[in-house]
A and B are shown apart, each in its own frame.
Chain A
Amino acid sequence: MEDAELQILKQRAPGLAALYTTARDTILRAADVVALEQARVSTLGRKSALTELLRSIPTLPAEDRPLLGKGGNMVRRELEGLVEEREAELRRQALSASLAHERLDVTLPGQPFPAGHEHLISQTMREVEDIFIGLGYRIAEGPEVELDYYNFTALNTPPSHPARSAHDTFWVVEQRETMPEAVMDADRGVLLRTHTSPVQVRVMEQQRPPVYVVCLGKVYRRDSDATHTPMFHQVEGLVVDEGITLADLKGTLHHFTQEFFGGERAIRMRPHFFPFTEPSIEVDVSCELCGGKGCRSCKHSGWLEIMGAGMVDPAVYDFVDYDSEKVSGFAFGMGVERMAMLKHGIPDLRLFYDNDVRFLRQF
């Protein structure tokens, strides 16, 4: 009951008001559910003063009846509400008191659910794929055991090029019906691809421009130390369309490095040489550790080499019957492990192939 209402009641029916305040205090003082029940019986029960009063109304003078009848009922509703509120309040208190005794050690480990990890190489490849899918590329694939033709010849690599030597490239003992007995020099048709670039040629044989593809996969070179493993993974990109320029290559690669490494990373293009691109470039990304000022990780240059690239050499178009007067394109290639090493600070390439779960579970 609002204070103002109570004041009015006190003026007009002081007895009823006194009855109300006494009953209210009795209810609010109840300290537990049992006491509250007693309070309810004593204030609202059949033998309570209020009930007596309401029961006596018919015997009152006619002019008093409306006031006491209305007021009495109002007081009863008020008191019933108070009992309900008090009961809810007491139940809350009782629950809180009992919860206060229920304790467990929340610092104990959680129920161990098995959680596996995709290999960091797979994760990195997926990340690269998704960036280029966003740019409208498709993912192309090709065999790892490859023909010399696709790996070298159609990529404009001269027959005497050192990369073809048994020192650098794994050659395969072929299954030819007429194959001469293991003659090393004659045995030059099939190899383990040394880069993902042969997929370029296979894609261009299969389709006409426009071509927007990336190819990811295993490649092989005869090298083994902290920065070389005989098997590793590469990403190859190829775009052939009308009016493709070196500026398009630069914009594409800058977009890629921003997405992949995150943050504002500058790139620069240095002239280089590859048989299958002309002009050929190497691409550096600014060193994150030193912000380009020069540190040990970037050999004090402020730049980290991340890939080789260039405009597709017209000689390559000749092999796939594209017209270099009508279309132009760019290609780029980078090492997946190297990208992951730069991004995650991994010092030794061999960790990728140890398959030590302590490594696998870090990523």
Chain B
Amino acid sequence: MRVPFSWVKEYVDWRGSVEELAELLTMSGTEVEGIDWVGAPADPDNLSRFVVGKVLTRDKHPNADKLSLCTVEVGEAHGGVHQIVCGADNFQAGDTVAVSLTGATLESGLKLKKANLRGVESHGMMMSEQELGYEEKSPGIVILPDEWIVGAPLQDYLPVSEAVLELELTSNRPDCFSIYGIAREVAAAARLELAPPPTAGPAVLGGAPAAESLAVEVADPDLCPRYAAQVIRGVRVGDSPAWLKARLTHAGMRPISNVVDVTNYVMLGWGQPLHAFDAGKIRGAKLVARRAHVGERIVTLDGMERTLDDHMVVIADVERPLVIAGVFGSIDAEVDAHTTDLVLEAANFSGPNILRTELHTGIRSEASNRFEKGLDANLVPGGLDFASRLLADLCGGVVAPGTVDVWSEAPSLPRLSYRPAKADDLLGYAVPAQEQAGILRRLECEVDEGGAPSAPSHAAPSTAEWTITPPTFRPDLVREVDLIEEVGRIAGYDLAPETLPRHRTAGGLTGPQQVRRAIRRALAGCGLDEAITYTFVAPDALDPLGLPEGDVRLSPVKLSNPMSVEQSVMRTMLLPGLIGAVRANVDRLNDPPNLFEIGSVYLWDDQTSPAPAQAAEPGAVLPHEPEAVGIVLAGPLEVESWTGAGRPTDFSTLKGIVEAALRALRLTADFVPLGDAVAHFPYLHPGKAALVSVPGAGGVGAVGLLRPDVAAAYGVDDLKLYFAALALDRIAPVALKTATFEDLGAYPPAAQDLAVIVDRGIAAADVIAVARRAGGKLTRDVHVFDVYEGGQVPADKRSLALRVVMRSPERTLSERDIAGVRAKILTALERELAAALR
């Protein structure tokens, strides 16, 4: 909301600067986002060059038909009478005008100089509303009221320069959506006197009572708790005075006509939205507040035809809807240049219903923005009186006696019990009881301190209990704690000392949280960069994978209102996001990256969780959100350097990374060929992929080369992508178990290398398993340190070089011990795997 500084000062006697006011408001709960300086530059020297003047003579310019040569009195202090050449035509001698003198800098930035216009000197300018910044375009100069004192600074009457506070208001404070409401906050926070409400009604009433010209019916009092109307006859619709245009423009609204401007001015100043009907256009002299019929149509003031539904309220006459209640008027009963009689509406509508109507129609007006927050029905009479007086004063209308006011009983005022000591307890700093009472009273709460107040004390007795009745314009004050907040914020949170709670718990990470950290660190330690991708993906993101029909990964969690199709379902795999990240890097001409991501996937599988009973959402089910680790290798980890060629990434790189990550969790893993599981991982190369299983946890994922046709479908056909997916939720329960010490052994180990030739189809793991078993308890480790194919090795075979490490806990192994183990291993390999020593 835009709050002109000079306007708020009409209601509260603030003597400080606008910056100080902004600070006061911000620190008491009304956030000031900025100060917008509008109009002419605000320095006093410049403002002294804008004065009230009186046209003494107006003659034709000797050399120009469209110009006048005038003499203008601007007061002794400003040099008495000036000669001014003027191009406007809407004035005559004797008019009071707004004069900017030579040297003044205008709103537009133009600096006035002594001018020579077609051979005649001009000392200053008579200003238009456009030049004052009140209107975008104005046909002539401003004619001011004759009572204004000639020679007086114009700024005393009109905001030649204005500072506008730009407020960010919160939805719980409908009372702040008016200048008077803001003034009330200022008064409360600065301990100043608030001016009486600006809502005094018109001095003179006349004509037939309002009720004789208009009937009002409220069909849905739950949606329209109050509907009041006033009749004003004989208005002349025209231009608003300059001061009114200035107020509206500075507050962010456009001047339209005196009638409409008055309704907007009262809304801005007092907070009650109003609507003016042309009484002559209301058919049947009756207004009905009712639900719209389904499909009912209305042409709103912006010329758009709108179709309504039966949750929306309209104000209708006997034939047709005239207004979408509280939201937007229609052209059917619009006030126009020929309007003479008005029906002025001040009503109260249900906030939630207005909000719904806004959402469904897409219309949000200054009025609906206020109604949606839930306005005080008690604003209605003040709004009518305030506007009626202005319509009488500015538009020449005669206000009919009486109003038509339909409303159900005023809601009873809540009486809240309040303990001043409780406020101190919650805030952590003491606000003296009398100060607390003073704050609440300045906010217009009734404070009953319960019996005769004792001698003024600085601390409230801890047992004191007061009864507080908040004003009706504060629907947010319904509990003791709401009042405590008022006391706290007005007294100032800067009073709060800084303390720490008395801790009675020990901090720490859970097991799974430690696992997550450890695996993240391990993967980064392997040289991978961590990506975080959007968890929502396109519905066809998995299409290239060839997943079997009915696979749970093909039934994602769908969003009913995504921002785009590309982000419309929740991921069931990390793969598409990671490939997208690879592609994004390649598109930016980065080297193909090696990435990992740790995050949830979202599955409608057999581990969904139903809503608990207290959630009261019958049948609602939440998807399963297991945490997963995804790894994608797109380029070499060991890059080419002057020290040597880089090693290209291959399956063993990926496997080594997965092993390292698991090792960081104190786990080992078995890698077995996909076998039948290829149906579950159809996107992996069937011969260059493996299932990963972890002792105690079973299968935890798969690793392998992405099929080239799948990579191509993702637009990365020129890259070999190695991909791993691990189910962190399955790994975590067995991970990071406490390690138990293993004796280092007092006796030295002995190593034996054997190269054996086996069929290519025999897995290295099987060779190792046989060797370990055959080697017995002296064999501590068997691993492959070289693989050789070709050369003298037959085409269908390969040579595996094994290193066997033996050790005894009891003695140094003898040559015989070593030879024995070696022989047993060779025999077993030969018997079980037809292996031959090379």
B716 to chain A, nearest CB (A): 14
B559 to chain A, nearest CB (A): 5
- Pair count A-B, CB < 8 A: 295
Inter-subunit contact A243/B427 (CB<8 Å): no
Taking the complex as formed, is A342 at the interface, i.e. its CB lies under 8 A from any CB of chain B? no
Docked complex Cα distance between A245 and B429 (Å): 9
Inter-subunit contact A118/B524 (CB<8 Å): yes
A115 to chain B, nearest CB (A): 6
In the complex, the chain A residue whose C-beta lies closest to that of B32 is A301
Selected contact of B563 from candidates A117, A222, A328, A356, CB within 8 Å: A222
Q: Chain A, 178-208, contact with B by CB distance < 8 Å: what is the 0/1 string?
A: 1100101001011010000000000001000
Docked complex Cα distance between A248 and B429 (Å): 11
Total A residues in contact with B, Cβ cutoff 8 Å? 106
Inter-subunit contact A159/B513 (CB<8 Å): no
Within 8 A of B (CB), among A116-158: 116-119, 121-122, 126, 129, 132-139, 141, 143-150, 153, 158
Taking the complex as formed, is B677 at the interface, i.e. its CB lies under 8 A from any CB of chain A? no
Taking the complex as formed, is A98 at the interface, i.e. its CB lies under 8 A from any CB of chain B? no
Within 8 A of B (CB), among A338-353: 352-353
Taking the complex as formed, is B517 at the interface, i.e. its CB lies under 8 A from any CB of chain A? yes
Taking the complex as formed, is B521 at the interface, i.e. its CB lies under 8 A from any CB of chain A? yes
A301 to chain B, nearest CB (A): 9
B537 to chain A, nearest CB (A): 11
Selected contact of A313 from candidates B481, B488, B530, B532, CB within 8 Å: B481
Inter-subunit contact B488/A246 (CB<8 Å): yes
Q: Chain A, 236-265, contact with B by CB distance < 8 Å: what is the 0/1 string?
A: 000101011111101110110000000000
Docked complex Cα distance between A243 and B497 (Å): 15
Docked complex Cα distance between A360 and B584 (Å): 13
Docked complex Cα distance between A296 and B838 (Å): 76
Inter-subunit contact B428/A189 (CB<8 Å): no
Taking the complex as formed, is A114 at the interface, i.e. its CB lies under 8 A from any CB of chain B? yes
Q: Which residues of B contact A170 (CB under 8 A)?
A: 559, 561-562
Inter-subunit contact B527/A115 (CB<8 Å): yes
In the complex, the chain B residue whose C-beta lies closest to that of A217 is B600
**Known contacts A160-B351, A272-B29, A355-B584, A314 near B479 by CB under 8 Å:** yes
Q: Which residues of B contact A243 (CB under 8 A)?
A: 425, 502
Q: Which residues of A contact B355 (CB under 8 A)?
A: 160, 162
In the complex, the chain A residue whose C-beta lies closest to that of B172 is A273
Inter-subunit contact B507/A147 (CB<8 Å): no
Inter-subunit contact B500/A270 (CB<8 Å): no
A223 to chain B, nearest CB (A): 9
B464 to chain A, nearest CB (A): 16
Taking the complex as formed, is B203 at the interface, i.e. its CB lies under 8 A from any CB of chain A? no
Q: Which residues of B contact A224 (CB under 8 A)?
A: 563
A230 to chain B, nearest CB (A): 6
Inter-subunit contact A159/B352 (CB<8 Å): yes
Inter-subunit contact A251/B499 (CB<8 Å): yes
In the complex, the chain B residue whose C-beta lies closest to that of A113 is B527
Docked complex Cα distance between A217 and B528 (Å): 22
- Size bracket, chain B contacts: 35 or more
**Known contacts A147-B615, A176-B620, A273 near B171 by CB under 8 Å:** yes
Taking the complex as formed, is B504 at the interface, i.e. its CB lies under 8 A from any CB of chain A? yes
Taking the complex as formed, is B722 at the interface, i.e. its CB lies under 8 A from any CB of chain A? no
Q: Chain A, 318-356, contact with B by CB distance < 8 Å: what is the 0/1 string?
A: 010000100010000000000000000000000011111
Selected contact of A273 from candidates B173, B527, B588, CB within 8 Å: B173
**Known contacts A173-B560, A355-B595, A145 near B622 by CB under 8 Å:** yes
Inter-subunit contact B559/A171 (CB<8 Å): yes
Q: Which residues of B contact A166 (CB under 8 A)?
A: 359, 560-561
Inter-subunit contact B428/A247 (CB<8 Å): yes
Inter-subunit contact A118/B499 (CB<8 Å): no
Name the residue among A158, A170, A279, A355 with the largest chain B CB count within 10 angstroms: A355
Docked complex Cα distance between A223 and B496 (Å): 35
Taking the complex as formed, is A101 at the interface, i.e. its CB lies under 8 A from any CB of chain B? no
Q: Which residues of A contact B536 (CB under 8 A)?
A: 230-231
Docked complex Cα distance between A319 and B485 (Å): 21
Docked complex Cα distance between A126 and B351 (Å): 43
Taking the complex as formed, is A177 at the interface, i.e. its CB lies under 8 A from any CB of chain B? yes
Inter-subunit contact B498/A117 (CB<8 Å): no
Taking the complex as formed, is B346 at the interface, i.e. its CB lies under 8 A from any CB of chain A? no
Q: Chain B, 619-646, contact with A by CB distance < 8 Å: what is the 0/1 string?
A: 1111101000000000001110111000
Within 8 A of B (CB), among A88-112: 108-109, 111-112
Name the residue among B355, B429, B507 with the largest chain A CB count within 10 angstroms: B507
Q: Which residues of A contact B752 (CB under 8 A)?
A: none
Taking the complex as formed, is B63 at the interface, i.e. its CB lies under 8 A from any CB of chain A? no
A157 to chain B, nearest CB (A): 11
Docked complex Cα distance between A141 and B479 (Å): 32
Docked complex Cα distance between A280 and B501 (Å): 18
Name the residue among A184, A279, A282 with the largest chain B CB count within 10 angstroms: A279
B187 to chain A, nearest CB (A): 16
Inter-subunit contact B620/A174 (CB<8 Å): yes
Taking the complex as formed, is A10 at the interface, i.e. its CB lies under 8 A from any CB of chain B? no
Inter-subunit contact B529/A179 (CB<8 Å): no
B398 to chain A, nearest CB (A): 41
Docked complex Cα distance between A314 and B584 (Å): 48
In the complex, the chain B residue whose C-beta lies closest to that of A229 is B534
Q: Chain A, 17-49, contact with B by CB distance < 8 Å: what is the 0/1 string?
A: 000000000000000000000000000000000
Selected contact of A116 from candidates B485, B509, B523, B612, CB within 8 Å: B523
Taking the complex as formed, is B611 at the interface, i.e. its CB lies under 8 A from any CB of chain A? yes
B561 to chain A, nearest CB (A): 4
Inter-subunit contact B621/A174 (CB<8 Å): yes
Taking the complex as formed, is B408 at the interface, i.e. its CB lies under 8 A from any CB of chain A? no
Q: Which residues of A contact B425 (CB under 8 A)?
A: 243, 245, 328
Inter-subunit contact A139/B513 (CB<8 Å): yes
Taking the complex as formed, is B107 at the interface, i.e. its CB lies under 8 A from any CB of chain A? no
Q: Which residues of B contact A182 (CB under 8 A)?
A: 560
Within 8 A of A (CB), among B461-505: 479, 481-482, 484-485, 488-489, 493-494, 496-505
In the complex, the chain A residue whose C-beta lies closest to that of B641 is A112
Q: Which residues of A contact B507 (CB under 8 A)?
A: 132-138, 212
Inter-subunit contact A172/B559 (CB<8 Å): yes
Q: Which residues of A contact B482 (CB under 8 A)?
A: 278
Docked complex Cα distance between A161 and B355 (Å): 9
Name the residue among B425, B481, B494, B581 with the largest chain A CB count within 10 angstroms: B481
Docked complex Cα distance between A111 and B570 (Å): 42
In the complex, the chain A residue whose C-beta lies closest to that of B427 is A246
Inter-subunit contact A272/B493 (CB<8 Å): no
Q: Chain B, 549-575, contact with A by CB distance < 8 Å: what is the 0/1 string?
A: 000000001111111000100100000
Docked complex Cα distance between A266 and B560 (Å): 43
Q: Which residues of A contact B526 (CB under 8 A)?
A: 114, 116
**Known contacts A122-B530, A176-B620, A133 near B504 by CB under 8 Å:** no
Which 5 A/B pairs are nearest by Cβ-Cβ distance? Answer: A114-B527, A245-B428, A247-B428, A271-B29, A160-B352
Q: Report 17 cross-chain contacts, Cβ distance below 8 Å, ordered by A residue.
A: A108-B642, A115-B527, A116-B525, A117-B524, A141-B513, A149-B615, A153-B615, A189-B611, A192-B570, A205-B612, A247-B499, A252-B500, A270-B27, A271-B29, A278-B485, A353-B534, A358-B590
Residues of B within 8 A of A (CB): 26-29, 31, 34, 170-173, 351-352, 355-356, 359, 372, 425-429, 479, 481-482, 484-485, 488-489, 493-494, 496-510, 513, 517, 520-521, 523-536, 557-563, 567, 570, 581, 584-585, 588, 590-591, 593-596, 598-600, 602, 604, 608, 611-612, 614-617, 619-623, 625, 637-639, 641-643
Residues of A within 8 A of B (CB): 108-109, 111-119, 121-122, 126, 129, 132-139, 141, 143-150, 153, 158-162, 165-167, 170-179, 182, 184, 187, 189-190, 192, 205, 210-212, 218, 222, 224, 230-231, 239, 241, 243-248, 250-252, 254-255, 268-273, 278-282, 299, 311, 313-314, 319, 324, 328, 352-358, 360-361
Given contacts A138-B509, A166-B560, 18 further A-B contacts (CB under 8 A): A108-B642, A117-B524, A119-B529, A134-B507, A167-B359, A170-B561, A172-B557, A174-B620, A176-B619, A245-B425, A245-B428, A269-B493, A273-B172, A279-B488, A299-B34, A314-B479, A353-B533, A355-B532
